[in-house]
Amino acid sequence: QKEVEQNSGPLSVPEGAIASLNCTYSDRGSQSFFWYRQYSGKSPELIMFIYSNGDKEDGRFTAQLNKASQYVSLLIRDSQPSDSATYLCAVYNYGQNFVFGPGTRLSVLP
């Protein structure tokens, strides 16, 4: 059973701080890693994907991947109240299906 694990939260950070969201996965052959943001009552929205070890930055978001540790993280710099949402980690291995984690609820406090 391939699994993706995330801390369910809620993770509370003050406005302007860095929010750090973590995800671990069990399938060592996984190749692609995705972060989705889901507001309450809405559908998941893709915000980042990463394929190679290391960091990938896009605006205030940085995805970090460590395949040896089977760990992927998302950092949100200068957190805003509008970042308050559930963040889903998804993992993909070629020829198989996407596997989603349960999500981490982030609350950015004004």
Between 22 and 31, name the residue whose CB sits nearer to other proteins: 31
Residues near other proteins (CB under 8 A) are 31-32, 34, 36, 41-46, 49, 88, 90, 92, 94-95, 97-98, 100-103
Which CB sits closer to other proteins, 36 or 76?
Answer: 36
CB of 97 to other proteins, least distance (A): 6
Q: Token pair 């406090």 is at which residue? A: 109
51/77 with CB nearer other proteins: 51
Distance of CA 94 to CAs 30, 91, 100, Å?
A: 7, 10, 15
User: What burial letters (b/e) apply to 75-110, b meaning 16+ CB within 10 Å?
Assistant: bbeebeeebbbbbbbbbbbeeeeebebebbbbebee
User: Is residue 4 a contact partner of residue 92, using CB atoms and an 8 Å limit?
Assistant: no
CB of 80 to other proteins, least distance (A): 23
Nearer to other proteins, 83 or 103 (CB): 103
At closest approach, how far in Å is the CB of 76 from other proteins? Answer: 19
- Least separation, in Å, of the C-beta of 34 and other proteins? 6
Instruction: Judge whether 50 and 57 are in contact, CB under 8 Å.
Output: no
